[in-house]
Structure 1
Amino acid sequence: MSETKLFVSDVDLWYGDFQALKKINLDIKSNEITAFIGPSGCGKSTMLKCLNRMNDLVEDCRIEGHMLLDGQDIYDPGYDVNLLRKRVGMVFQNPNPFPMSIYDNIAYGPRTHGIKNKNDLNEIVERSLKGAAIWEEVKDKLHQRATEVSGGQQQRICIARALAVEPEVLLMDEPTSALDPISTLKIEELVQDLKKDYTIVMVTHNMQQAARVSDKTAFFLTGEVIEMDSTERMFSNPRDKRTEDYITGRFG
């Protein structure tokens, strides 16, 4: 059995008067891919952003409950948010490389954490791009602007940028929704390869993608987790009729 990496207990979240999450409980294991599925507006991305405190940046957002990373509550007032975001990286729905070279995109995080030595940075850039399965495609154009390559390559550059600060957890918010099928397949293959070294939590609207790549699946509906189980069991024999209705396309 894998060890628990992230543990979410009785989490409620409000944006102003609107309650977006209701009594969320999740047990996310190390070196597994956990998929969050559910219709638009059900709380998947909101929950994902809680895991590295991105909702801290949202005005009128209030959170109750506990979220533990390796047993430590990340919402404890003494918890270092910068350290949290180094340990828990994020990849967004649309590729968002910085308007600078591929090299500088990858070196950006390590530089902000104090790494200045050119050889060290070169090593990190190469390792991260290899980790994101894009080194062979860009090794001869590291000084080209990252915004000038294809969308699928941009997304893998963003994954490499996240890997460069050596996180333990990778959060992915619909990482392939803006990509063509071939790029999507490359990202899916990459994600399955990365779980050897990282714990991955992925929001997806694509049922087939969740079934293909994830180990566990959590089904969200109207701000609640209806059920969480192994992906195989969830897709073959869900316990709740609402889960079955969503997976089989009766709504959502």
Structure 2
Amino acid sequence: MHKHMVRRGGVVGLLAAAALLVGALPASAAPGDGSAFVVSANLTLVGGPAINVGPLAPSHTDGPTTAEVASVSIPNVLTAGVATSEAIRDDATGGVHSEASVANVALSLGGFSGSIGLVEAACDATQGGNTGSTSIVNGTFNGQSLPANPPPNTVIAVPPGPVPPPVLSITLNEQIVNGDGSLTVNAIHIRANTPIISGDVIISSATCGPAAPPIPMASGAGLWIGLGLLGAVAIPVGFSVIRKRRTLVTG
């Protein structure tokens, strides 16, 4: 009889655990992803070797969540100082935050040059949606000041004007909504498409989202069913143990 009670208790216990899990599981078990990197360059130069660098200092919500390099050097294209990236996920809320920053950037591309004290891309994914931003400190290129907080997808032609055609197209605060619902923010995306130079350079890139559903404690019907089934296990098994002890004592 005791073995039968314990066996019945084990079965009911499994049912109780299953009910609690039903109440606790979110709609999707897959967490939100995020990533970031500081610089990448893919260029073809006439009379010179192809340049394929990066992504440098990559980070990801699955790890490593942070990355840093003391300096960046791409000959005849770019030099920079300290560059960092970060991609973190909050499992309790499902939110994701990614960012990348590069300090003391010096650019030389297509016969044009520029400098930036600090450039940063950031994005956040929450249950309310995705948002992104770009910050540029003391930035100039081809003698033109770069806005500190450019609106999304601000395009600058270098040289300016329709004639001659631009050698470079610079997109500031480039925001791309990807097919999986995530958002990519490229603080600076330089595109070159001439017979002499072609390709692109990205400085500070962050991708995040969509946010994962939060992971709540068991609630609602699953909670009460689970607690009821646990009670159905605990009470009979408890009485069985008490009877067994009484039998041993009286025996």
Same fold by TM-score, threshold 0.5 exceeded? no
> Which structure carries more helix by proportion?
1
What's the TM-score once normalised by structure 1's chain length?
0.23
What's the TM-score once normalised by structure 2's chain length?
0.23
> Which structure carries more strand by proportion?
2
